[in-house]
Amino acid sequence: MAKRRDSAYIYFAFVIVFLLLNLFVLNISAKLQLLPIFIIIFLLSFIFFKFRKDKTYARIQVTITMLLIGIVQIVLYLLTGFLEGFSKNAISMSFNRFLTVILPIILILVVIELLRYMISVKFEKNNLIRILSITMFVLFDATLFGSNVSFNSLDSVLEFFGITFFPSLVSNIIFDDMVVKYGYKPILVYRLLTTLCYYMLPIVPNMYILFRAIARIVIPLIFYFILSYMYDRVTFQEVLKVKPKISISSIIILILVIIMAGLISCEFRYGILTIGSGSMTGTLNKGDIAFFEKYNNQELEIGDIIIFKRGKRNIVHRITQVGIFNDEYVYKTKGDKNKLEDNGYVYQKDIQGIVHYRIKYIGYPSIWIRNLFDWCN
């Protein structure tokens, strides 16, 4: 038993180190290139874990339930498009796309869920191995769906943890518990359905990334309670009394982190920006958080406060003049605290958003962290 456990530690150490190396150094992200890597990891698992026949109860009923939950999730996802609009899916479907993207994703997800089942069943009572297992599956998700991992800026760090890491962590903790009770098939059906739809739909709602991030936290928690209520002969009151591995307060905090990450990365109509200078003092002070609406050719007037790009910097100043140059609106701007107008004109292509509200002071921690991050780099 001890020898088998030690072999498992070696296996996890090897796989986790390789996945981290790939995320930050190798950057292998093409699905067709990832497929043989996942297959090798899966074949290695047979040496350490073996495969046991799935003898979990209520497999068909649970699988159907998960299928229905997946369909409901997709419908809710599509309904968000009526709030923020639809866009053409950047992933165009073709036979070549099916062979190089869709088919590899299907096979990789099958490999992942079979691997999850083998590990969780064999080491159900070994907490350390289950933690290592969850870590490995989170890295699987980051490798498969978060290929552009970059820690070059504070915003990219927040976006990675909010959009990729935390949702994956929560869903994999829940999947780890579910696979022991219900087997790999219900989870596999759910993941295939909800993953492939994002690749195969001709149009997608504009809230795509943010919705997926929140859904990957909330929906697994919901179906975990539903399945416990339906198939574990547990009353709803008892389900609520069961101390979950992840507390409700933790879920709320994670959702808030995701929303903040979505606002910072401008994944939907509104965003936030920390005021880092004193050029708008009195209206927007240093350390304030400015809430803005993304610019989409709205009509702008003198007195509006806009966010625009100058090089790599975001500047928040007020419009003082509106003109026309080459049949395009151009704007002169000025900071309320500055004596002179900004040099040159602001063109529509440079405008990022229109500021509507502010919250005082709460942006200071972001400034301190950003300064520390810049100093470390």
pLDDT digits (tens, 9 = 90+) for 332-350: 999 999 999 999 999 999 9
- The confidence score (pLDDT) of residue 75 equals 87
- The confidence score (pLDDT) of residue 46 equals 78
Q: Is the pLDDT of residue 359 over 80?
A: yes
- The confidence score (pLDDT) of residue 135 equals 93
Backbone angles phi, psi at 270, to 5 degrees: -115, 155
Contact present, 290 and 316 (Cβ < 8 Å) = yes
- The confidence score (pLDDT) of residue 235 equals 47
Q: Is the pLDDT of residue 240 over 50?
A: no
Sign of the Cα torsion 39, 44, 47, 49 reads negative
- The confidence score (pLDDT) of residue 373 equals 57
- The confidence score (pLDDT) of residue 253 equals 57
Q: Which of 51-60, 258-267, 352-361 has the lowest mean pLDDT?
A: 258-267
Tell me the range of 13-17, 22-26, 356-360 where mean pLDDT is highest: 13-17
Q: Which of 80-89, 157-166, 249-258, 325-334 has the lowest mean pLDDT?
A: 249-258
Q: Is the pLDDT of residue 363 over 70?
A: yes
- The confidence score (pLDDT) of residue 351 equals 93
Neighbours of 95 (CB within 10 A): 7
What band does 267 get if pLDDT is binned at 50, 70 and 90?
low
Enumerate domains of the chain plus CATH numbers.
2-265 (no CATH), 270-376 (2.10.109.10)
Q: Is the pLDDT of residue 366 over 70?
A: no
Q: What is the pTM of this model?
A: 0.69
Q: In the block, which residue shows the tokens 């759910």?
A: 190
Q: Is the pLDDT of residue 377 over 70?
A: no
Residue scoring higher pLDDT (353 or 220): 353
- The confidence score (pLDDT) of residue 133 equals 92
Mean local confidence (pLDDT), 250-264: 56
Backbone angles phi, psi at 204, to 5 degrees: -135, 145
Contact present, 162 and 258 (Cβ < 8 Å) = yes
Contact present, 213 and 170 (Cβ < 8 Å) = no
Backbone angles phi, psi at 325, to 5 degrees: -140, 125
Mean local confidence (pLDDT), 281-285: 91
Contact present, 251 and 260 (Cβ < 8 Å) = no
- The confidence score (pLDDT) of residue 15 equals 93
Q: Is the pLDDT of residue 230 over 70?
A: yes
Q: What single string gives the DSSP state of each residue in 60-86? A: HHHHHHHHHHHHHHHHHHHHTHHHH-E
Bridge partners, 212 (sequence order) = none
- The confidence score (pLDDT) of residue 307 equals 93
Tell me the range of 89-93, 136-140, 202-206, 238-242 where mean pLDDT is highest: 136-140
Mean local confidence (pLDDT), 86-107: 86
What band does 29 get if pLDDT is binned at 50, 70 and 90?
confident
First to last CA, the chain: 46
Neighbours of 202 (CB within 10 A): 10
Q: How far apart are CA 305 and CA 356, in angstroms?
A: 8
* Residue closest to 119 by CA, chosen among 53, 180, 165: 180
Average pLDDT, the chain: 80
Q: In the block, which residue shows the tokens 């609009």?
A: 85
- The confidence score (pLDDT) of residue 294 equals 86
Contact present, 352 and 296 (Cβ < 8 Å) = no
pLDDT in tens, 113-157: 999 998 888 888 888 888 999 999 999 998 888 755 566 655 566
Q: Is the pLDDT of residue 243 over 50?
A: no
Helix H or strand E encompassing 136: helix 127-145
Q: How far apart are CA 237 and CA 321, in angstroms?
A: 63
Q: How far apart are CA 209 and CA 201, in angstroms?
A: 15
Residue 244 zone, left/alpha/beta (φ > 0; ψ -120 to 50; rest) = beta
DSSP3 helix / strand / coil % (the chain, rounded to 5): 60, 15, 25
Q: How far apart are CA 21 and CA 37, in angstroms?
A: 13
Contact present, 272 and 292 (Cβ < 8 Å) = yes
Q: Is the pLDDT of residue 255 over 80?
A: no
